[in-house]
């Protein structure tokens, strides 16, 4: 439980920082900051899901983010598996290339859709 609990606390802090950044006026530097915080929040999200699944005894060891997302969906930790896969794909595209138009599109998805998924995960994990 300790690992899950500790990682969950880190996830909540990262999510709070992402939410704070999203409240700022949309400028180039804010977009860059939001994208960085998004990447960090996603990393903690899937790793927290993994730790939670292990804590619940559902899985001994799971591998990739995709596998953890699929397992979390099957176990009801997340409601919208397709959106979580989109989150993962957007995070991956940020890690491997930088395109200004793509980054703005991802910023908009973070603000309009992804942060809500992160918040729903936080609520669900708080109940465990």
| 75 Cβ contact list (under 8 Å, min separation 6) | 53, 56, 58
| CB-based burial, 68-77: b 16+ in 10 Å, e otherwise | bbbbbbeeeb
pLDDT in tens, the chain (128 residues): 589 999 999 999 999 999 999 999 999 999 999 999 999 999 999 999 999 999 999 876 768 999 999 999 999 999 999 999 999 999 999 877 677 888 999 999 999 999 999 999 999 999 99
What pLDDT is attached to residue 95? 75
What pLDDT is attached to residue 76? 96
Cβ–Cβ under 8 Å, residues 99 and 54: no
Q: Domains in the chain, please, with CATH? A: 2-126 (1.20.120.330)
What pLDDT is attached to residue 67? 94
What pLDDT is attached to residue 99? 79
What pLDDT is attached to residue 1? 59
């Amino acid at each position: 439980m300790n690992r899950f609990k500790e990682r969950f606390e880190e996830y909540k802090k990262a999510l709070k920082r992402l939410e704070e950044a999203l409240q700022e006026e949309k400028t180039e530097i804010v977009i860059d900051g939001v994208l960085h915080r998004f990447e960090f929040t996603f990393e903690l999200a899937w790793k927290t899901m993994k730790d939670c699944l292990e804590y619940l005894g559902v899985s001994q060891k799971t591998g990739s983010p995709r596998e953890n997302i699929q397992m979390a969906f099957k176990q009801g930790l997340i409601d919208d598996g397709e959106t979580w896969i989109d989150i993962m794909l957007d995070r991956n595209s940020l890690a491997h290339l930088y395109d200004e138009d793509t980054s703005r599109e991802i910023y908009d998805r973070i603000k309009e859709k992804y942060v809500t998924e992160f918040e729903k995960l936080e609520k669900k994990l708080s109940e465990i």
